[in-house]
Structure 1
C-alpha cells in the first residue's frame, strides 16, 4: 500500500498565473500591432528582465506558503508522510491473524509537530496477533493502558490519554481527547503522534474510511486486540437480518447529570464531557453495549459475530473488551508503543503551558484552558 501525496490540492490562485505572464511579457520587446501612434516603448532585457522574473517567483513562493498553511488541529490538505510509504501485511497462520506494519498512515494526515502535539511521525515495527475464533467473556475487561486494536492500514486504535486533572493519575479524572476542551493536536482523522513517533487514532479514522469505500455501508476498519472485528458507524437495523436497512448505530453512553465533586476531591463544574468520568452507560439508550459493540451479521461474517463499532459520540473507540486481548498489544514499558521499535520523542507541553495555572496555583489543563470548575461558573 502506498501513501498518496498531493491529491485534492486546490488550483493555483489566478494572481500567480498573472504574475508569471507579466514576467514573460516583460522579457519580450514591445512592438506596435496597429497603425495608431504609440507612446515610446522601452526594451526590457538583461537585468531588468531578471528582476521581473525574480518578482514573479517571490509571488509564487508566497502563494505556496498560503496554500500550505494548516487548518484547525494541525490538519494540512495534501500532506502525507514523505519519508516512507505505508507498509502493512495481514496474514492468517494456524489459529491467528497476524498484522505486521510500520504504522505510517496510507491517507493524508495533519502536520506534526504542531501546536498541540510536539512529536513527529516515525516508522514503527509492529507485529500484532489476534485469534481467528475469539470468544466472548461473561464480563467486560478494561482496554485502557494499551491500544484497543489495529486498523487495516496498520495504525493502532488508542483512545486513552496521559492527561489527568492536576497531572495526578490518582485523582481518577482523565481528560477525554475528543472533548473539544483540550488541544492535543489531533488531525482530521482524529489522530496524533506519541513521543515514540507512533501515529494513532483517538476516534473516527475518516481518512481510512474514505479509502475503504462507501461510508454509508458497513465498513470493516480493523480488528480489536481480542480478535473481534471493528466497524465504523453503521450496522443493520435488524442485527441478524442482512436484508434490513443499514443505519447509523448509536452509543448507549450519556453525560451524567449534575456537577463533579470540587475542592480536593475533583475538578468541580458540571459534567460536560471534558473527562472520561463525565460519562455513564445507560442500558437501552442506544444500539450498543458497554463495549460499544453487539452481535449481528456483517458482510465479512454472514453467519454473525460479535463486533465493535467506532462512533461519532463517546466512547468513540471502545474502552472495554468483550473478549481476551492478545498480549502482543501490551505496551513495552513507559512511553513505548506496542510491538517494538519506534523512537523516543518529547512529551506534550506541560498542562496549561507557560504561565497558565488553575485554582490555588495548581496547573491548569493542557492547551491553556482554565480549570473546568472556573470555566463553568
Structure 2
C-alpha cells in the first residue's frame, strides 16, 4: 500500500508541475473520419477584404532573421466564417526567428508544425488535424477534397485562434508579388530552418542562372495498389491521405524536402532553397536545415507556464520562446516541461532520430490521447487548465502537494 501511495503522490506531483500548459494551446482539436476517397476541392472565391491592414517586418538581428507580423494577409480572402470553417480572421502577434545564415544539417528533419512564414507574415501550415478513425498514422491531406475545410482560393483558412494560414499555393500573395511563367520566382517566404522559399518557377539548370526558367516538379508520387484495409483505410492510393504518397528519387526536379541547391535572384552565388510546387506536397514537409522551435505547434519549448508559451495573440510565457540556439526555460528537459498528456516530449523525439513513418504514427497516437483527455475532462476543468486556476498549483512549480 505504501508503494502505491508513493506512486500516486509522485504522479500527482508530476501532473501538478505541468498542468499549467493549456490544452487550448494545442493544435485545433483533431477530428476523426471514415472517408477513404478524395473529393473535389471547392475553393472559396476571394471576395473579402481584411478589415485590418497587413503589418509585417523582416530584419536581421545578430544571427537571426526576425519576422514579426499581425498575420493579416495583404490580399483578399474567402469569407470567414463559412460552412466548412467556423472561424473568423483576427490579428495575431507572430514572431519567428530563423537562422540568418542557415546550414544544411546532417540529416533531414520532418516538419512538426508550421513549415515557414510567407513574406507577408502569414504562416505556411500544410497539415490538418483530420485523421482516419482506425489505425493511427492516417492523416488526411487537406487539399484532397475528402474533408470540407472551408479553404479559400489562396488555399488558406482560419484556426480557432483566428490565425489565417496557408495549406498550399498562396495565390493571392503570388499575384501580389508577381510570380510569372518565364521568370524565376521571387522570394515567397522563409522556412523554419532559415532557407528561402520560392514558388513553382526556377532555373532549368540549378547552377546556371542564364538557363531557361521552367516549372519545377516534385519527386513525390502516389503509391501503386491499394491501402492495407482492416483497421487501416482501404481503397486505392489516391491522395486522400498524406501516406498515399512516397518519394521517388529522380522522378522530378526536387529532393525529398521539395528543394535543391541552386542559384536564385536573391542568392546569385547559390543557396539551398525550397520550392512550392503544383504537385504534392505543394508546401514542403521536411527540412534540410535545423528548424527553429518558433514554428512548432502547441506550447513552445522554453515556456514555463502561466500565460502559456504561445497564446492566441502569441504572447510568450514567463520563460519566453526557445530560439534556434535551443535555449529554453526551466522544466523537464532543455526546452521546458511537456504538456499534459504528451506521449513523447519534443526533445525526446529529436533525440530518438525517428523515421518519417514513426513521426506520423506518434502524431496520430498523440491526437488520440489529446482527444481522449479532452473527452474525460469537463469544460470547466479544461478552462481551469487554460487559465492556470488549479488550487495549490500557482507558485508551486516544484509539483509538491499544497500544505
Cα gap change, 1:214 to 1:172, in 2 (>3 Å):
closer
Distance 1:321 1:261 in 2: 29
Matched, 1:341 2:312: yes
Matched, 1:190 2:155: yes
Specify the alignment match of 2:254 in structure 1.
Answer: 288
RMSD: 2.0
Contact 2:299/2:310 (<8 A) preserved: no
Contact 2:179/2:199 (<8 A) preserved: no
Matched, 1:85 2:53: yes
Distance 1:248 1:120 in 2: 35
Distance 1:220 1:196 in 2: 28
Structure 2 gap segments, 5+ residues each: 1-40, 301-306, 315-403
Specify the alignment match of 1:102 in structure 2.
Answer: 70
Residue 171 of structure 1 aligns to a residue whose secondary structure is coil
Q: Could you tell me how far 1:72 is from its partner in structure 2? A: 4.4
Specify the alignment match of 1:16 in structure 2.
Answer: none
Cα gap change, 1:275 to 1:202, in 2 (>3 Å):
same
Q: Could you tell me how far 1:328 is from its partner in structure 2? A: 1.8
Distance 2:59 2:203 in 1: 28
Q: Could you tell me how far 1:76 is from its partner in structure 2? A: 3.9
Specify the alignment match of 2:210 in structure 1.
Answer: 243
Matched, 1:74 2:44: yes
Specify the alignment match of 1:315 in structure 2.
Answer: 281
Structure 1 gap segments, 5+ residues each: 1-70, 344-377
Distance 1:278 1:97 in 2: 35
Q: Could you tell me how far 1:139 is from its partner in structure 2? A: 1.4
Matched, 1:299 2:255: no
Deviations 1:286-312 (A, max 9, x none): 000000000000000000000000111
Contact 1:74/1:114 (<8 A) preserved: no
Distance 2:115 2:180 in 1: 22
Residue 210 of structure 1 aligns to a residue whose secondary structure is helix
Cα gap change, 1:76 to 1:300, in 2 (>3 Å):
closer
Distance 1:250 1:106 in 2: 27
Residue 43 of structure 2 aligns to a residue whose secondary structure is helix
Q: Could you tell me how far 1:340 is from its partner in structure 2? A: 4.5
Residue 90 of structure 1 aligns to a residue whose secondary structure is strand
Q: Could you tell me how far 1:179 is from its partner in structure 2? A: 1.1
Contact 1:99/1:127 (<8 A) preserved: yes
Residue 74 of structure 1 aligns to a residue whose secondary structure is coil
Specify the alignment match of 1:210 in structure 2.
Answer: 175
> How many residues matched?
266
TM-score (normalised: structure 1): 0.68
Contact 1:124/1:340 (<8 A) preserved: no
Deviations 1:127-172 (A, max 9, x none): 101111101012111113x110000000000001100001x6x611
Contact 1:74/1:115 (<8 A) preserved: no
Equivalent residue for 1:223, pick from 190, 194, 197: 190
TM-score (normalised: structure 2): 0.63
Specify the alignment match of 1:175 in structure 2.
Answer: 140
Specify the alignment match of 2:227 in structure 1.
Answer: 260
Q: Could you tell me how far 1:213 is from its partner in structure 2? A: 1.6
Matched, 1:136 2:107: no
Distance 2:195 2:299 in 1: 26
Contact 2:42/2:145 (<8 A) preserved: no
Distance 2:140 2:179 in 1: 33
Contact 1:331/1:339 (<8 A) preserved: no
Distance 2:209 2:128 in 1: 37
Cα gap change, 1:97 to 1:207, in 2 (>3 Å):
same
Distance 1:205 1:244 in 2: 26
Q: Could you tell me how far 1:337 is from its partner in structure 2? A: 11
Distance 2:106 2:203 in 1: 24
Rg bigger for which structure? Answer: 1
Q: Could you tell me how far 1:341 is from its partner in structure 2? A: 3.4
